[in-house]
Amino acid sequence: MTAQTDNTLKSIDSEVFNLVRSEESYQRSTIRLIASENYTSRAVLEACGTVFQNKYSEGYPGARFYQGQINCDALERLAIDRAKALFGAEHANVQPYSGSPANLAVYLAFAKPGDTILGLNLSHGGHLTHGSKASVTGKWFNAVHYNLNPDTGLLDYDEIRRLALEHRPKLLIAGHSAYPRQLDFAKFREIADESGAILFVDMAHFAGLVAGGAHANPVPFADVVTTTTHKTLRGPRGAMILCKEVHAKAIDKAVFPGLQGGPHNSTTGGIAVALKEAATPAFKEYAHAVVANAKTLAAELSAKGFKLVSGGTDNHLILIDLTNKGITGKEMAIALEAAGIVLNYNTVPGETRPAFDPSGIRLGTPSVTSRGFGVGEMKRIAEWMDAVASDAKNTDKLASIARDVATLCSGFPVPGID
């Protein structure tokens, strides 16, 4: 059997090739406000498509179950060292396939089925894996939840303390997927110590802001920290677990063999590159620009009558309750997509509508900041969103906005693509 002389994607599978090209065009011509999405650099994309894809590496560097690991070991050690240095961690595991498996590894390391965990309510900005009944974490553990203060939309640390002392959770979870403010990790540490809990921080959404000095670092306060490596960190779709050295063996054992087989070595390469990029002065500027853009966009939307949960933002994301606008979150998200602006519908605190058609939307600025959008562009986005909210069924208007959006986007190159 002879090797093919032309084995490029285009020649082998034109259907997949065309979908890739179509997605490139879509990412170029739309404004991406999904708070959990971003653009990786060309270097990260290249690292994710190397011959490391051909390797299988069960185990850890120096202790694999396969031979031929000299380069895989060196690559993983490089990613580990960079993660520890960037976040000031004593130990790092870079093997989790994504954020949810990373969180499950923490539960496996520290808890048993039936143990109590305490985390932020999903409808108040928490994550499925923080004990939602829709998740295995809400089925296997006794999940208790804290809520945002109904008057301020902020975390109520006195209430968190009360619940922690009442329920004595094995794990106190600090982290979110839709909370627009910074967390007070010192207060969470105090509550964990007083209640005898392990402090588990899920910083998947704001890890890049931490790396860039635009958000407080939870690592010095937490027993264990999980994060995805995409979102604000601008890496590939993967995850990491950072922890105190005393917990290193438990965490590593939970990841492998507890939950996973061999790591995705090509993704490990992409993580290593992203961590190197995140340690640069340019990335620090980027992280601060993400927050500045979010604050500007929040202020502009608030001035146009949008009801922002907590009244604004301290990080990269904004959560909006659209009840006063007479449109549901899903209707708004669909209309905005037709107008070239992509975000997601989302539940809000005190939600009265079904999760598949809730009252709110969630948006963030990581992707647009990666393209170089600034204050002026944030103001235009707010104007377009206001126009869509007031006339969401006017297809001609939506199409006109989409053309304007594409024109604006044409002036901002796409990282990793252009």
Query: Angle formed by the axes of helices 395-409 and 14-29, to 10°?
Result: 90
To the query of whether residue 202 is one of the catalytic residues in this protein, the response is yes
Q: Which of 28, 187, 237, 353 is catalytic?
A: 237
**If you average pLDDT over residues 110-118, what whole number do you get?**
98
Q: Which of 40, 107, 129, 202 is catalytic?
A: 202
Radius of gyration of the chain (CA): 22
**If you average pLDDT over residues 332-346, what whole number do you get?**
98
For 41-76, the pLDDT digits (tens) are 999 999 999 999 999 999 999 999 999 999 999 999
Predicted pLDDT at 1? 41
To the query of whether residue 231 is one of the catalytic residues in this protein, the response is yes
Q: Are residues 204 and 340 in the same domain?
A: no
**If you average pLDDT over residues 286-291, what whole number do you get?**
98
- Structural domain boundaries, residue 357: 290-409
Predicted pLDDT at 117? 98
Predicted pLDDT at 246? 98
CA angle, 252 then 248 then 221, to 5°: 125
Predicted pLDDT at 5? 60
Quote the pTM value: 0.95
**Which residues, other chains included, contact 234 with Cβ-Cβ below 8 Å and sequence gap of 6+?**
38, 39, 40, 41, 44, 208, 274, 277, 278, 283, 286, 366, 370
Q: Are residues 229 and 307 in the same domain?
A: no
Per the annotation, does 128 bind a ligand?
A: yes
Q: Could you give the CA distance from residue 240 to residue 94 in angstroms, rounded to a whole number?
A: 4
Q: Could you give the CA distance from residue 158 to residue 51 in angstroms, rounded to a whole number?
A: 52
To the query of whether residue 10 is one of the catalytic residues in this protein, the response is no
Confidence tier at 4 by pLDDT (50, 70, 90): low
Does the pLDDT at position 259 exceed 50? yes
Q: Are residues 295 and 229 in the same domain?
A: no
To the query of whether residue 37 is one of the catalytic residues in this protein, the response is no
Q: Are residues 225 and 123 in the same domain?
A: yes
217 phi, psi to nearest 5 deg = -95, 120
Per DSSP, what are the bridge partners of residue 174? 201
Predicted pLDDT at 7? 83
Q: What is the CATH number of the domain that holds 63?
A: 3.40.640.10
**If you average pLDDT over residues 210-222, what whole number do you get?**
98
The total of structural domains in the chain comes to: 2
Per the annotation, does 245 bind a ligand?
A: yes
Q: Which of 55, 231, 295, 362 is catalytic?
A: 231
Per the annotation, does 91 bind a ligand?
A: no
Per the annotation, does 126 bind a ligand?
A: yes
To the query of whether residue 237 is one of the catalytic residues in this protein, the response is yes
Residue 4 domain-assigned?
no
107 phi, psi to nearest 5 deg = -60, -40
Does the pLDDT at position 224 exceed 50? yes
Q: Are residues 338 and 258 in the same domain?
A: no
Q: What is the CATH number of the domain that holds 368?
A: 3.90.1150.10
Q: What is the sign of the dihedral through the CA atoms of 290, 295, 300 and 302?
A: positive
Q: Which of 24, 28, 37, 56 is catalytic?
A: 56
Residue 97 domain-assigned?
yes
Domain boundary among 229, 257, 278: 278
Predicted pLDDT at 2? 47
Contact 357, 327 (CB under 8 A): no
Contact 72, 50 (CB under 8 A): no
For 299-326, the pLDDT digits (tens) are 999 999 999 999 999 999 999 999 999 9
Q: Which of 37, 46, 58, 190 is catalytic?
A: 58
**If you average pLDDT over residues 264-280, what whole number do you get?**
98
Mean pLDDT over each residue of the chain, to the nearest integer: 97
Domain boundary among 258, 278, 298: 278
Residue 194 domain-assigned?
yes
Q: Are residues 194 and 235 in the same domain?
A: yes
Confidence tier at 99 by pLDDT (50, 70, 90): very high
Q: Are residues 274 and 370 in the same domain?
A: no
Per DSSP, what are the bridge partners of residue 32? 342
Domain boundary among 244, 278, 312: 278
Per the annotation, does 127 bind a ligand?
A: yes
Q: Which of 137, 228, 267, 268 is catalytic?
A: 228
For 121-167, the pLDDT digits (tens) are 999 999 999 999 999 999 999 999 999 999 999 999 999 999 999 99
